[in-house]
């Protein structure tokens, strides 16, 4: 077989060889910069210490005191975001050419994966016979009708709404009437259901006005006690820190109400203004199971809607198996609505 070579093919081959030689030279240059004997271990000590402190913060977050500005709760609210320190330190360690910093970086990376890596997996399962949803609709919502129609699209059998205003309640009632036969509004929270409701009443969470309620929903699968709550807002202030004392007191009262709930199967829906990591919600979280943690995909951040950074809206269950949990499309509220599917059992 005769093989012909043209000037063009020879030139192309030469160019390719030149490119390979250039790439090899660049690799050798990078490697040569890292060759420094003990220098690569001496550099980046500050970065290594920083990596160690980030890991320590994640491991010992429960030990951060709340006495000063509720600093512990503030840290726990945004705890997953500490993982952003890992890629930042990684880039700085590479620029600094520090083997010490790279090795130290393994510690916060492993700790973060251990704490939050499991949330990235899709834990939803098939099945489920009851769907619930909750949404803080925002008192200043410019389109309550559109918001009501949007959350009704979730197919929820039971829908909880928080931050209802006296002016907008009739609008929500009218917009949801075609989907939900039963409803009750107590103070600034409301519950809409496709199934009969009984024993509906306000729940005292030590505020002086009504921001929580409970009702028994009688479904074909069995009875379920549904609690709706909107705990007080928290603020971050330079002079006072994380102001959450009123929220914390209401969380304790809500925990007491959950412990007294007469129905065995219980679902808690609402805006708790806190995450599952926040120790100040222990009175609630110690009794209930998060549907997002058990059957969700990702973190399910719900606030703020424009750039969700924390899951402060919650769906929790007791004596019920979650099968799926997800966030719903954005409405004109500053929160995202959330939904979950669970498996109810006959009484």
For the segment 51-72, the average pLDDT, to the nearest whole number, is: 88
For the segment 163-187, the average pLDDT, to the nearest whole number, is: 98
Amino acid 12: pLDDT: 53
Amino acid 30: pLDDT: 47
Distance, CA of 18 to CA of 265 (rounded, Å): 72
Contact in structure between 186 and 163 (CB atoms under 8 Å): no
CA atoms within 13 A on the CB side of 66: 16
Give the model confidence (pLDDT) of 292-310 as tens digits: 999 998 999 999 999 999 9
Amino acid 135: pLDDT: 98
Residue 1 has pLDDT above 50, yes or no: no
Going by CATH, does the domain composed of 130-343 fall within 3.50.50.60? no
Of 138-142, 232-236, 289-293, the poorest mean pLDDT is in 232-236
Distance, CA of 270 to CA of 313 (rounded, Å): 6
When the pLDDT of each residue in the chain is averaged and rounded to a whole number, the result is: 89
For the segment 316-338, the average pLDDT, to the nearest whole number, is: 97
- Can the peptide bond before residue 304 be classed as cis, meaning omega within 30 degrees of 0? yes
Helix (H/G/I), strand (E/B), else coil: 159: strand
Residue 338, burial from CB neighbour count under 10 angstroms (0-12, 13-18, 19+)? buried
- The more confidently predicted of residues 20 and 74 is 74
Of 195-204, 218-227, 237-246, 269-278, the poorest mean pLDDT is in 237-246
Q: What percent of the chain has pLDDT over 70?
A: 87
Of 9-23, 105-119, 322-336, the poorest mean pLDDT is in 9-23
The model's confidence at residue 243, banded by pLDDT at 50, 70 and 90, is low
For the segment 80-95, the average pLDDT, to the nearest whole number, is: 95
Amino acid 121: pLDDT: 86
Contact in structure between 180 and 159 (CB atoms under 8 Å): yes
Domain boundaries, the chain: 36-120, 130-343
Amino acid 13: pLDDT: 53
Amino acid 239: pLDDT: 47
Amino acid 43: pLDDT: 85
Inter-axis angle of helices 99-116 and 85-96, to 10 degrees? 170
In 137-264, where do the E strands start and end?
A: 158-162, 182-186, 189-193, 197-202, 212-219, 222-230, 235-237, 241-243
Residue 122 is encoded by which pair of tokens?
């899709």
Contact in structure between 342 and 124 (CB atoms under 8 Å): no
Residue 152, burial from CB neighbour count under 10 angstroms (0-12, 13-18, 19+)? middle
Contact in structure between 321 and 340 (CB atoms under 8 Å): no
Residue 241 has pLDDT above 60, yes or no: no
Give the model confidence (pLDDT) of 249-271 as tens digits: 999 999 999 999 999 999 999 99
For the segment 107-123, the average pLDDT, to the nearest whole number, is: 91
Give the model confidence (pLDDT) of 17-46 as tens digits: 656 555 555 545 544 555 555 578 888 999
Residue 66 has pLDDT above 50, yes or no: yes
Residue among 306, 251, 260 at smallest CA distance from 282: 251
Distance between first and last Cα of the chain = 85
């Amino acid at each position: 077989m005769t093989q012909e070579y043209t000037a063009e093919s020879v030139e192309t081959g030469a160019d390719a060889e030149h490119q390979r030689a250039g790439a090899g030279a660049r690799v050798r240059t990078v490697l040569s910069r890292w060759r420094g004997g003990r220098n690569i271990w001496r550099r980046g000590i500050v970065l290594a210490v920083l990596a160690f402190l980030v890991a320590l913060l994640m491991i010992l977050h429960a030990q951060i005191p709340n006495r000063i500005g509720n600093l512990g709760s503030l840290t726990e609210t945004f705890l997953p975001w500490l993982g952003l320190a890992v890629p930042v330190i990684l880039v700085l360690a590479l620029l600094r050419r520090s083997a010490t910093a790279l090795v130290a970086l393994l510690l916060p990376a492993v700790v973060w994966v251990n704490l939050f890596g499991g949330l990235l997996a899709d834990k939803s399962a098939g099945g489920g016979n009851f769907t619930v949803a909750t949404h803080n609709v925002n008192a200043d919502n410019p389109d309550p009708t559109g918001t009501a129609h949007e959350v009704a699209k979730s197919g929820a059998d039971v829908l909880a709404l928080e931050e209802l205003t006296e002016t907008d309640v009739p609008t929500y009632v009218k917009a949801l009437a075609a989907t939900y036969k039963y409803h009750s509004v107590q103070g600034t929270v409301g519950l809409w259901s496709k199934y009969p409701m009984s024993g509906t009443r306000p729940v005292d969470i030590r505020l002086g006005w009504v921001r929580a309620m409970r009702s028994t929903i009688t479904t074909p699968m069995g009875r379920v006690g549904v609690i709706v709550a909107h705990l007080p807002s928290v603020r971050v202030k330079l002079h006072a820190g994380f102001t959450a004392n009123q929220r914390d007191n209401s969380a304790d009262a809500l925990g007491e109400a959950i412990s007294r709930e007469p129905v065995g199967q219980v679902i808690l829906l609402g805006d708790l203004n806190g995450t599952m990591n926040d120790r100040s919600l222990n009175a609630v979280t110690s009794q209930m199971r998060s549907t997002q943690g058990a059957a969700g995909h990702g973190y399910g951040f719900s606030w703020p809607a424009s750039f969700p950074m924390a899951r402060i809206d919650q769906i929790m269950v007791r004596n019920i198996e979650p099968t799926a949990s997800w966030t719903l499309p954005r409405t004109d509220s500053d929160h995202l609505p959330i939904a979950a599917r669970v498996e109810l059992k006959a009484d």
